[in-house]
Amino acid sequence: MFPKAVRLPLVLGVAAALAALPSAAHAAPAADHTASAAALRTFNLAGGPGAGLHAGDGSTSWSLSSGTATLNAQDTLGPDERFRIGSQSKTFTAATVLTLVDEGRLELDDPIENHLPGVVSVNGYDGTRITVRHLLRHFSGIPQANTVNAPAQQPGGGYSLASLVQYGLDGAPPAAEPGARFLYSNTNYEILGMLIERLTGQRVEEAVMRRVVQPLGLTNTSFPAPGDRTLPGPRINGYAGVRFIGTVFIGTEVTGTHEPSRFYASGAMISTLRDVAAFYRALVGGRVVSAESTAEMKRGVPTQPGSPSNAGLGLVESPLPCGGTFWTYNGGVPGYFTLTGVTEDGRYASTVTNAQMGLSNQPISQGYGVLQAALCEGGGS
């Protein structure tokens, strides 16, 4: 998810954005969270000009920042500053689908053909065999679409769900039988966006806001409409660039250049570290959908044979080095890479770095290192 359009000439990047990072993470009470501070610094050095963390245990919370939210400035990454959350949007989409299950509008094992006749049954795909559950869990057999290129934008700007789905399905035939194995694909969630629109009669962004975001009081979370590239303040600025001799980040700002609907129901949303952590805590805690639907979202299947991680419905369960497991999802779009994790006993952590370093070089392990350190350290002081 790193289009060529944001790869600007290196000379421009150097002239506009050359900064060395501070030597340590900073924010009170960093002394009480040394493992998290060290992990955040490592994440920062593998990612953008800055990295931020918000964590807690339900009764206390704390935040750390490393580097800067704005190149060539001393600007910490705070828990209430907005950024693009990328594929963490998928969990909001999944939760919206489950609200419709709770209302009896559909069942998880419904073939998608029942609700979107003819949409998926193209290029060798059989919509009568691909279920809603398959799409939510990435077990549909649909491979990831080419994210460097894109379908044509609408006349008014932005992309439609239908064009993204057609682009994804036409781009490659089935890579596996439905239900056979985990294949991560944005197209799954663009199809689910179309499903939400068909059943609610609302645009997917409106349905997600009304059914999930607004009831939880997430006032700093939004789902921009196609063509809306603004990122309201206070915000963390996003960058495209590269690392040079370790501590120097060379790049240019892309905060307002990314078209969010390129990853529509799969990755268009905006939030903050505090809001997105609150959402995942509420979801895992059974305060977004019914107890039955929450259990279905948590019912996992290994993402790969022998893998310790289990794919649920818009959630992934992963082990903690200190024992137990946590529920998580990550997201990356031009300008940002972010991850959130929560445990059953109420511990939570959300982190972001303000650059996406390219699909082959995303700091995934470093980001999960931050979550693991923060969740194992527990609450605040």
- The answer on pLDDT for 239 being more than 80 is yes
HEC sequence for the chain: CCCHHHCCCHHHHHHHCEEECCCCCECCCHHHCHHHHHHHHHHHHHCCCEEEEEEECCCCEEEEEEECCCCCCCCCCCCCCEEECHHHHHHHHHHHHHHHHHCCCCCCCCEHHHCCCCCCCCCCCCCCCCEHHHHHHCCCCCCCCCCCCCCCCCCCCCCCHHHHHHHHHHHCCCCCCCCCCCCCCHHHHHHHHHHHHHHHCCCHHHHHHHHHHCCCCCCCCECCCCCCCCCCCCECCCEEEEEECCCEEEEEECCCCCCHHHHHHHHCCEECHHHHHHHHHHHHCCCCCCHHHHHHHHCCEECCCCCCCEECCCCEEEECCCCCEEEEEEEEECCEEEEEEECCCCCEEEEEECECCCCCCCCHHHHHHHHHHHHHHCCCC
**What is the per-residue pLDDT for 154?**
86
**In the numeric block, which tokens belong to residue 371?**
């979550």
For the chain, percent of residues with pLDDT exceeding 70: 90
In 3D space, the residue among 308, 357, 358, 348 whose CA is nearest the CA of residue 328 turns out to be: 348
**What is the per-residue pLDDT for 221?**
98
Q: How many angstroms separate the CA atoms of 340 and 55, rounded?
A: 9
Model confidence over 187-229: pLDDT tens digits? 999 999 999 999 999 999 999 999 999 999 999 999 999 999 9
**What is the per-residue pLDDT for 356?**
83
- The answer on pLDDT for 20 being more than 50 is no
Q: Which residues are catalytic?
A: 87
pTM, 2 dp = 0.92
Determine the residue type at 12. L
Model confidence over 39-94: pLDDT tens digits? 999 999 999 999 999 999 988 999 999 999 999 899 999 999 999 999 999 999 99
End-to-end CA distance of the chain: 38
**What is the per-residue pLDDT for 178?**
98
**In the numeric block, which tokens belong to residue 10?**
């290196």
- The answer on pLDDT for 360 being more than 80 is no
For the chain, percent of residues with pLDDT exceeding 90: 80
Least confident of 3-17, 90-104, 113-127, 278-292: 3-17
If you search the block for the tokens 């129901």, which residue do you land on?
Answer: 265
* DSSP bridge partners of 252: 240
In 3D space, the residue among 170, 182, 105 whose CA is nearest the CA of residue 136 turns out to be: 182
Model confidence over 254-311: pLDDT tens digits? 999 999 999 999 999 999 999 999 999 999 999 999 999 999 999 999 999 999 999 9
**In the numeric block, which tokens belong to residue 373?**
């350190």
